[in-house]
Amino acid sequence: MPLTNVVDYFNVRLLALHPHALLGQGASYLLHRGLLTAQVAGLILTPNPIPVHTATGELFGRRARFLVRDAAGHPARPESLHVQAWNAEDMVFLDCFLRTFHALNHLHHGHDKRESLVLDVHLRHLAARPEHQGGDCEALLHLLGLGPHQIVLRLDAPTLHVDSHLQATARKFTGRGYRLLAARPNLRNTDWDLLSALGVRWVAPHIRDLVAWQRDGNAGPARNGIALWLDGVDSLEDLAHARVLGAELIEPGLQLRATRQVTPRPVRTPTLAELSG
């Protein structure tokens, strides 16, 4: 089926699934001259996915992100979009709208099915419909050929560490086949056994925090079978550091993406002591 027909179908389908969502009024996906965009709450969204690579440079997948502009074309913060959701219906609609948008873009670019799609989990969505916990969006993504095993869900690590409701939700996510990434953990105050028991596959600490943590002789999450995912890696030096720190996956920052280089040049690998100096 041509992608234009797929886009038209989901424009109708989402409104039918969420008839009481005020944000659904005027929200739509647009495909014009090969460019997929979306409009919702008077804002224009353009896909801006971030590639995620293994430490040796192979493509693992893409983290779903987007750029936001207002009707006048001025840039806006992506977080401002969720401010427009005033109630549970709007929040659930917005979450499904965005996830479907990311999946449509994934499909539009013909990515290999082995590539993972990394989606942020917004806590307001979970609070809005605790009984569904993403199941309503899951069915839509399935229509686009994306199953749970192809998706990584990015959760806030500090909240996951203390929120029993989010912990129960995480267990249900892993039970359905999703893989979990816990972002920005407090390295000095994290129960790694707990995160492991919840099914967390990766943690994404800040690279500088990790250097200080390992410099002090801490074993970190690896002993619990949790791998490192380093994001915002923005220089070739940081890429070299990521290898020393044992990162399994690397998410480049804006500057590094501009260079289109995902592996360090063949230079001497620094030691951990040099990194922390």
Give the pair of three-digit tokens for residue 99: 């996830």
Nearest CA to 159 among 169, 150, 146?
Answer: 169
The conformation of residue 255, written as its DSSP 8-state character, comes to: H
In this predicted structure, what is the pLDDT of residue 133? 53
In this predicted structure, what is the pLDDT of residue 124? 72
Per residue, the 3-state secondary structure of 151-191, as one string, reads: EEEEEEHHHHHHCHHHHHHHHHHHHCCCEEEEECCCHHHCC
In this predicted structure, what is the pLDDT of residue 24? 92
In this predicted structure, what is the pLDDT of residue 131? 57
- C-beta separation of 224 from 193 below 8 A: yes
Distance CA 104, CA 102 (A): 5
Q: Which residues contact 268 (CB under 8 A, 6 or more apart)?
A: none
Q: What is the mean pLDDT of each run of 10 residues along the chain (277 residues)?
A: 87 92 93 93 94 90 94 89 86 92 88 86 72 69 90 95 92 94 91 94 88 72 88 82 88 70 41 42
In this predicted structure, what is the pLDDT of residue 270? 37
In this predicted structure, what is the pLDDT of residue 271? 42
Task: Report the top-level CATH class of 46-65+84-276.
Answer: alpha beta
In this predicted structure, what is the pLDDT of residue 272? 40
